[in-house]
Amino acid sequence: MNAPQSPPTLSRWTEPGSSRVPFWAYTDPQLYQLELEKIFYGRHWCYVGLAIEVPNVGDYKLTWVGERQVIVVRDRVAPKDRGVDHGIRVVENRCAHRGVRFCQQPHGNARSFVCPYHQWTYKLNGDLAGLPFKDGVKDGDCVNGGMPPGFDLKEHGLAKLRVEVLHGLVFATFDADAEPLADYLGPKVMPWLDRIFKGRELTLLGYNRQRIPGNWKLMMENIKDPYHPGLLHTWFVTFGLWRADQKSRMVTDAHGRHAVMISRRNEGGQNAAVTTGVTSFKADMQLQDKRLLDVVPEPWWTVDDPANPGTSITPTVTMITLFPSLILQQQVNSLSTRHIVPRGAGEFDFVWTHFGFAGDSPEMTRRRLRQANLFGPAGFVSADDGEVIAFSQDGFAQWGEGGSTLCELGGTGTGGAEHMVTETLIRSMYAYWRKAMGQ
């Protein structure tokens, strides 16, 4: 890879607009550090998990905001705050004494957190509760050592993130001045979150985890790219889960950073307009186990159409991308959150959390789990995405500074669309990224 030719803080993006994304945006390690600062640790809300993952007081799980490991924990709620305080805290897993990542269990239950090195003890809300030998050690009439007289426990807690919980989804930010979460998500995206989550109790069905050798933004692009599913994915084009002959809509928030791809499946099979010459279409491919596509429509799929008052809409798939690191997937009966955890410019971890609803019958739970086989690291569909992301990163790295991608399907503009033959959502994200990064 060629070395960057100018410092990342200076504007290097010389093309107009956001339809040509320079390869250095994916490969430059200095720029990546700046992304961590400005995006992941800056004025953005990052997904950290589901409230049902920590159901009881003291339950915690480890997760990530950017490359910083954080603890999501359920704290006690004072009686006067019941109904106002959700009780969920997010604190950084970094001891205030000498910086140790003190918690090592991926999840568990704790009364407090104790750092193993010198046993500083923290309350569930991150406050420092106490430390050994704070007042020194008595030796006859004198006292040896101890912390200086002005040492105040209150000033030495863990780094606490701001937390908001929306319909059971937990978000956190390091920025005390970040706008409220609802404003951050915006009124155009919110109805699609409400459709899946509002008023429903979630159940946790399981996890997949994978490491993908590509830049974290490529994963966001992949889920903002309605062009590829009917071409790359044999499963989608053959069985009609997502392809260009379906009625679709692309939605963005006012900044272009978040998006929703909405579509309705058809019966699949041959349609000359979208299958001729498409090598991933396999006319004679049949399912050995038909239960993989035993789709049962659910009442909540139908909602008032936010764009056309007085009419309703019944998508079978909505793919929601919440910048910078969350994807929410409804693909027929399969539901998951997908959390992007960046690990350097050229790699990220991808954590899938499959969920259902508390009212689901055992059959529906089994159905959701069966359909989840389409997704995850070895999913019939998603394995393809992981692979092309790795191929993309390889292509960028072999060329270096001067190259760029071309995202001009449907023009060079940004914003929503009423079809899927467009790369507008990708352009919209990079228009926002340029602003956020000062590029």
Partner from ligand FES, Fe ion, none contacting 391, C-beta within 5 to 8 A by type:
none
Window 202 to 241, contacts with ligand FES (CB under 6 A): none
Considering only residues 200 through 229, tell me which ones interact with Fe ion, judged by CB under 5 A. 229
Within 101-120, the residues that bind ligand FES by CB under 6 A are 102, 115, 117-118, 120
Residue corresponding to tokens 């764009």? 307
Cβ proximity to ligand FES, 132 vs 299, nearer residue:
132
Our measurement of the distance from residue 117's CA atom to the centroid of its chain's CA atoms, rounded to an integer in Å, reads 33
User: Binding partner of residue 95 among ligand FES, Fe ion, none, CB under 5 to 8 Å per kind?
Assistant: ligand FES
Residues of this chain, 298-337, that bind ligand FES according to CB under 6 A: none
User: In this structure, are residues 90 and 75 in contact, taking their beta carbons and an 8 Å threshold?
Assistant: no
Choice between 158 and 161, CB closer to ligand FES: 158
- Closer to Fe ion at the Cβ: 193 or 223? 223
Q: SS3 for 311? A: coil
- DSSP readout, 7-38? -TTS----SSTTSS-BTHHHH-HHHHHHHIII
Rounded to whole angstroms, what are the CA distances from 70 to 47, 85, 243, 302?
A: 11, 20, 39, 37
The item of Fe ion, ligand FES, none sharing an interface with residue 115, based on CB under 5 to 8 Å by kind, is: ligand FES
Q: Binds 219, which of Fe ion, ligand FES, none (CB < 5 to 8 A, cut-off by type)?
A: none
Q: Within 366-385, which residues bind Fe ion (CB under 5 A)?
A: 385
Q: Please, what is the minimum distance in Å from the beta carbon of residue 119 to ligand FES?
A: 6
CB-CB contact of 256 with 415 (8 Å) = yes
Q: How many residues bind Fe ion (CB under 5 A)?
A: 2
280-339: contacts with Fe ion (CB under 5 A): none
Q: Are 186 and 166 in contact (CB under 8 A)?
A: no
- For the CB of residue 413, give the shortest distance to ligand FES in the complex, in Å: 52
Name the residue nearer to Fe ion (CB basis): 42 or 229. Answer: 229
Q: Which is nearer to Fe ion, 214 or 229 (CB)?
A: 229
DSSP code per residue over 114-133: E-TTT--EE-TTS-EEE-TT
How many other CB atoms are there within 10 angstroms of residue 357's CB atom? 17
Nearer residue to ligand FES within complex by CB, 45 or 120: 120
Is 23 a binding residue for ligand FES by CB under 6 A? The answer is no
Burial environment of residue 1 by CB neighbours within 10 A (0 to 12, 13 to 18, 19 or more) = middle
Task: Please spell the DSSP secondary structure of 180-220, one letter per residue.
Answer: PHHHHH-TTTHHHHHHHHTT--EEEEEEEEEEESS-HHHHH
| Binding partner of 100, given Fe ion, ligand FES, none, CB within 5-8 angstroms per partner class | ligand FES
The Cα–Cα gap between 127 and 2 comes to 46
**Residue 48 per-residue DSSP state:** E
The option from Fe ion, ligand FES, none interacting with 181 (CB < 5 to 8 A, set by class) reads: none
Nearest approach, Cβ of 311 to Fe ion (angstroms)? 29
Select the residue interacting with ligand FES from 95, 202, 317, 417 (CB under 6 A). 95
* Residue 97 binding result from Fe ion, ligand FES, none, given CB thresholds of 5 to 8 Å by partner type: ligand FES
User: Could you give the 3-state DSSP secondary structure of residue 365?
Assistant: helix
120 binding partner (options Fe ion, ligand FES, none; Cβ < 5 to 8 Å by kind):
ligand FES
For the chain, count helices (H), then strands (E).
11, 21
Q: Which one of Fe ion, ligand FES, none interacts with residue 385, CB within 5 to 8 A by kind?
A: Fe ion
Structure tokens at 53: 């993952």
Q: Is 98 in the site for ligand FES (CB under 6 A)?
A: yes
Tally of CA atoms within 13 A in the half-sphere of 339 that contains its CB: 24
Between residues 229 and 268, which has the closer beta carbon with respect to Fe ion?
A: 229
Does 260 help bind ligand FES (rule: CB under 6 A)?
Answer: no
61 is written with which tokens? 């799980």
Contacting residues toward ligand FES, per CB under 6 A: 95, 97-98, 100, 102, 115, 117-118, 120
Residues of the shown chain interacting with Fe ion in the complex, contacts defined by CB under 5 A: 229, 385
